[in-house]
Amino acid sequence: MSGQEGAAAGRRAPGELESEVLAALWAAGEPVGVGAVREQVAGDPAYTTVLTILTRLYDKGLVTRTRAGRGYLYSPVRDEAGHAAAGMRDLLERGGDRAAVLARFVSELPTEDEKLLEQLLRDHMTGPDTGGATRSPGTRD
């Protein structure tokens, strides 16, 4: 059976359950237990499956956990935008020729996103934390 047939038969793509669990944590907006996360994940996964995913996310440093009775309450380390940005940084660091990767990324953006990126870069370069001075492109806070 091919990967597409398996997905059509109810199997998730690799990483899809982790993404759903993180989405449930972001939606909760507060620390929650395994049962609350499980209720928000499609397909009625087993409690132990959700617990395993949360444990893996904890081991990867993507969630924190706080003891609550015999179990834990889980919270995402970053908000959804921060998580996406970290993923983009990881991909960029693995991409080899950074200039080529960034050039390709920008060239494939829709016009609206390209304009937004230009504005964000302008704002970043002349932001309030620079005291009005323009930062050089390689400067980090």
Confidence grade of residue 128 (pLDDT, cut at 50, 70, 90) = low
Instruction: Lowest mean pLDDT of 45-54, 109-118, 120-129, name the range.
Output: 120-129
- Predicted TM-score (pTM) above 0.75: no
At residue 129, does pLDDT exceed 90?
no
Is 95 in the same domain as 108? yes
Domain boundary among 76, 98, 114: 76
67 and 94 belong to one structural domain: no
Same domain assignment for residues 104 and 57? no
Return the CATH number at 21: 1.10.10.10
**Is 20 a member of any domain?**
yes
Any domain includes 134: no
Phi-psi category of 43—alpha, beta or left, where left has phi over 0 and alpha has psi -120 to 50? left
Residues 108-119: what's their mean pLDDT? 92
- Please give the pLDDT value at position 3: 45
Residue 21 domain flag: yes
Considering the domain architecture, whether residues 69 and 85 belong to the same structural domain is answered as no
Structural domain boundaries, residue 99: 80-126
50-86 burial by CB neighbour count: b if 16+ within 10 A, else e? bbebbeebeeeebbebeeeeeebbbbbbeeeeebeee
Total structural domains in the chain?
2
